[in-house]
Amino acid sequence: MSAALVPPPAAIVAEDVARALAEDLGSGDVTAALLPDVADSAYLLCKEDAVVCGRPWFDACHRALDPHVRIDWRVREGERVAAGTVLATLQGRARALVSAERASLNFLQTLSGTATTTAAYVDAVRGTGAKILDTRKTIPGLRLAQKYAVRCGGGVNHRIGLYDTVMLKENHVRAAGSLTAAIQAARAMHPALPLIVEVETIAQLEEALHEGCDRILIDDFDAAMRREAVRIAHAVPADRRIPLEVSGGVDMTTLRAIAQDGVDCISIGGLTKHVRAIDLSLKLGPPPAA
């Protein structure tokens, strides 16, 4: 399995699932109790084109309620599927299958939605060399899950949180007195952490390039400024080049042109913020004949 498709640790998945099941089941599933507690089967249907993501959470939901459930997946994690695809079949206790249905689908539809959206953005910049990055604009409590979904869709994770990367913005520059002073203070306090610097002008860009950092974020530059920033940043040997990231004003209508200007990364909050769930259903009984 590639590093991109390595999910969060099992303990994190279990915590996510425990919260979801407690929220849904409460003191007990009064509707599932109407069903006979007998062995039954079910199948998982995808009703639209999608990139599948979330199998670990789906499996954990069902195994939490029926440790002996059998889940046979017909597709891989991260695989693109067409509408009408049967993703998996299940064999287990009828009540448990029904009780786990909603929570398992909620994870799978949400994470598949993030992966599918990310894949569309990745496709749109293919051949340009630009990478699609996510942000911290995630559903509270599901950041690691959504960041994993971004990787399943071919995107790249930005920082995970406020602890693993130093990111200097206008407030830090204002407090330090200058961009140079802010960079020097960050390097002194956190020498081992990656440093990303946001710049708002070409002059600040040149200052950041002079001082050095791991990535420069050119925020809300217009097209002319963006191309000038690329020209300046690329006017050094490749082994000393600092990657440029674009953020702000990015959507499917502007994405390709931004990538073709030569930037290295494009960060898009909508990958995880504007979630449109994939249409899935879990039905009792065997799947329909092909």
Query: CA-to-CA distance for 76 and 52, rounded, in angstroms?
Result: 7
Per-residue confidence (pLDDT) for residue 199, from 0 to 100: 96
Which of the four CATH numbers 3.40.50.300, 1.10.230.10, 3.90.1170.20, 2.40.280.10 does domain 3-122+275-284 have?
3.90.1170.20
Enzyme catalytic residues: 102, 137, 169, 198, 219
Enumerate residues 6+ apart whose C-beta is below 8 A from 158.
133, 134, 135, 136, 165, 267
User: What's 245's DSSP letter?
Assistant: E
Enumerate residues 6+ apart whose C-beta is below 8 A from 35.
94, 95, 98
Query: CA-to-CA distance for 14 and 202, rounded, in angstroms?
Result: 47
Per-residue confidence (pLDDT) for residue 209, from 0 to 100: 96
Among candidates 199, 201, 195, 175, which has minimal Cα distance to 183?
A: 195
Per-residue confidence (pLDDT) for residue 249, from 0 to 100: 78
Residues of the chain with CATH 3.90.1170.20: 3-122+275-284
Among candidates 209, 176, 160, which has minimal Cα distance to 168?
A: 176
Enclosing H/E stretch for 84? none
Residues of the chain with CATH 3.20.20.70: 127-273
Enumerate residues 6+ apart whose C-beta is below 8 A from 76.
52
H-only helix segments in 153-266? 170-176, 179-189, 202-211, 223-233, 255-260
**Predicted confidence (pLDDT) per residue in 18-63, tens digit:** 999 999 999 999 999 888 899 999 999 999 999 999 999 999 999 9
Q: By the 8 A CB rule, do 132 and 246 touch? A: no
User: What's 34's DSSP letter?
Assistant: G
Enclosing H/E stretch for 141? none
Residue 273 CA to chain centroid, in angstroms? 10
Which fold is adopted by the domain 127-273?
TIM Barrel (3.20.20)
Which amino acid belongs to residue 18? Answer: A
Q: By the 8 A CB rule, do 152 and 112 touch? A: no
Give me 34's structure tokens: 């109407």
Per-residue confidence (pLDDT) for residue 239, from 0 to 100: 87
Q: Is 271 exposed, middle or buried (0-12, 13-18, 19+ CB in 10 A)?
A: buried
Residues in the chain predicted with pLDDT less than 70, given as ranges, are: 1, 290
Per-residue confidence (pLDDT) for residue 4, from 0 to 100: 72
Give me 51's structure tokens: 């990139």
Query: CA-to-CA distance for 53 and 79, rounded, in angstroms?
Result: 8
Q: Residue 164 region, left (φ>0) first, then alpha (ψ -120 to 50), else beta?
A: alpha
Cα torsion angle, 22, 28, 34, 37, sign: positive
Query: CA-to-CA distance for 80 and 112, rounded, in angstroms?
Result: 10
User: What's 156's DSSP letter?
Assistant: B
Q: By the 8 A CB rule, do 264 and 196 touch? A: no
